[in-house]
């Protein structure tokens, strides 16, 4: 499929409009605390009514490449500003919150789907697919919010870790459905290996690249070589069968803290990443983030209203139960009320869910009884992605304005009873 001259002009014009709206959205975010992602998704939904992307071969070939790059680069750019001193608490808090949130999704979603006539296995698979959080949404938001750095770290690591949980969990459930067996030891082993190997390779890659970068900085265009190294790292780790996104996160943390690390190891002053380099990477991050959220809006199918409403229902249920995961994972910590509210509402879904939503269709031909609702997964999951991002962004806006105090307080019936007595 080739583009004619008018098609190319139209494509460039749309791309220009998307970038201007992305810039305008960030300006509105700075002034009003209304996150820019919501405008980008709405633009994507609007464009989707005029562009038939489902039958566009060029789009189908390019979109997986772009969305994967968006994921790894947003993780990398966000990791550049992570402080090593606060890293450990972020990993521990993010891991526990991610696991608990994922577990709640595995409990709630299958029960709802059973009531609607789905099999337990398919409901469990749907719960695994939408049980995570999106780095592409959370990282840009936490950088702009008035939130403690420790809380931002927890949310950052939760979003990165949850991708692994969703992918491993979904694939394991598919194996369970096709093989009629479930080995919990294998699941734990796969998760540990995926985390451990990816983190190790990312750290070694970051330490090695810092030394290489000192040589590359003598030449112009050296910033681009770091992006090339990032893509090579992702490809290598994925080739090893591990998680490339986690490796890119680790790589970014090491590169961003290289000055501290080598000053400590070699007992001499080292020059870290320059402000101009971080500015350059933030500009690239803006570009890929802008088109990523327009893409999410584009692929949402509005023709089946019933499945869209079901996606909204599941999103609301997951938000209502989210405070349990936040409370349990932070039971021994003192967290500001505002930070706790942000932790309760920042659980948007993203790229991992969108990719995994296509998984059931790969098995429906061979296992029609086990995947009888395979065709409905994509619409439901994309609806959950849209509504979860919408609720998260609106929640952020209301919290910043002091008009939302959290899900727990919203559901506190005793407060209303006291008001009635007064």
Residue 221 reports pLDDT greater than 80: no
Tell me which fold the domain 12-421 belongs to.
Na+/H+ antiporter like fold (1.20.1530)
**Tokens 């990791």 appear where?**
79
> What's the confidence (pLDDT) of residue 128?
92
What is d(CA 280, CA 42) in angstroms, rounded to the nearest whole number? 27
> What's the confidence (pLDDT) of residue 251?
92
How far is C-alpha 101 from the geometric centre of its chain's CA atoms? 14
Sequence-distant (≥ 6) Cβ neighbours of residue 174 within 8 angstroms: 125, 359, 360, 363
User: CA torsion sign, 116 to 121 to 126 to 132?
Assistant: positive
How far is C-alpha 82 from the geometric centre of its chain's CA atoms? 17
Give phi and psi for 38, each to the nearest 5.
-70, -40
What is d(CA 197, CA 190) in angstroms, rounded to the nearest whole number? 11
pLDDT tens, residue by residue, 355-397: 788 778 877 787 888 888 888 998 899 899 889 988 988 888 8
pLDDT tens, residue by residue, 180-203: 655 556 666 666 777 788 889 999
pLDDT tens, residue by residue, 279-296: 888 888 888 888 888 887
DSSP classification of residue 46: H
Confidence tier at 210 by pLDDT (50, 70, 90): confident
Total length of the chain: 422
Q: Which helix (H) or strand (E) holds 286?
A: helix 275-298
């Amino acid at each position: 499929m080739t583009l004619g001259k008018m098609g190319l002009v139209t494509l460039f014009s749309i791309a220009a409009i998307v970038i201007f709206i992305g810039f305008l959205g960030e300006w509105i975010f700075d002034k009003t605390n209304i996150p820019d992602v919501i405008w980008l998704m709405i633009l994507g939904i609007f464009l989707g009514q005029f562009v038939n992307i489902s039958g566009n071969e060029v789009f189908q070939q390019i979109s997986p490449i772009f969305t994967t790059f968006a994921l790894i680069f947003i993780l990398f750019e966000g990791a550049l500003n992570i402080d090593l001193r606060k890293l450990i608490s972020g990993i521990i808090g993010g891991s526990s919150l991610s696991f608990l949130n994922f577990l709640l999704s595995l409990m709630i979603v299958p029960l709802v789907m059973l009531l609607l006539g789905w099999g337990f296995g398919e409901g469990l698979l749907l719960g695994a697919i939408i049980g995570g959080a999106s780095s592409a949404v959370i990282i840009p938001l936490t950088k702009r919010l008035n939130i403690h750095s420790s809380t931002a770290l927890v949310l950052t690591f939760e979003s990165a870790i949850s991708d692994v949980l969703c992918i491993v969990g979904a694939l394991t459930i598919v194996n369970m459905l096709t093989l009629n067996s479930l080995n919990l030891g294998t699941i734990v082993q796969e998760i540990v290996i995926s985390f451990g190997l990816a983190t190790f390779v990312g750290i070694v890659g970051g330490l090695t690249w810092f030394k290489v970068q000192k040589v590359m900085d003598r030449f112009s265009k050296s910033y681009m070589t770091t992006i090339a190294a990032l893509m090579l790292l992702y490809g290598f780790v994925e080739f090893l069968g591990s998680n490339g996104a986690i490796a890119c996160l680790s790589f970014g943390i090491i590169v961003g803290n290289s000055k501290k690390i080598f000053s400590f190891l070699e007992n001499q002053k080292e020059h870290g990443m320059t402000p101009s380099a971080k500015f350059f990477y933030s500009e690239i991050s803006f570009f890929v983030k802008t088109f990523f959220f327009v893409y999410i809006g584009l692929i949402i199918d509005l023709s089946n209203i019933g499945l869209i409403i079901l996606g909204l229902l599941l999103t609301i249920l997951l938000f209502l139960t989210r405070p349990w995961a936040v409370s349990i994972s932070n039971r021994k910590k003192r967290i500001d009320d505002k930070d706790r509210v942000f932790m309760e509402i920042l659980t948007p879904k993203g790229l991992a869910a969108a990719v995994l939503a296509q998984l059931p269709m790969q098995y429906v031909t061979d296992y029609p009884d086990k995947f009888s609702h395979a065709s409905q997964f994509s619409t439901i999951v994309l609806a959950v992605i849209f509504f979860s991002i919408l609720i998260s962004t609106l929640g952020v806006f209301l919290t910043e304005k002091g008009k939302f105090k959290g899900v727990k307080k919203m559901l506190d019936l005793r407060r209303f009873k006291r008001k009635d007595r007064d």
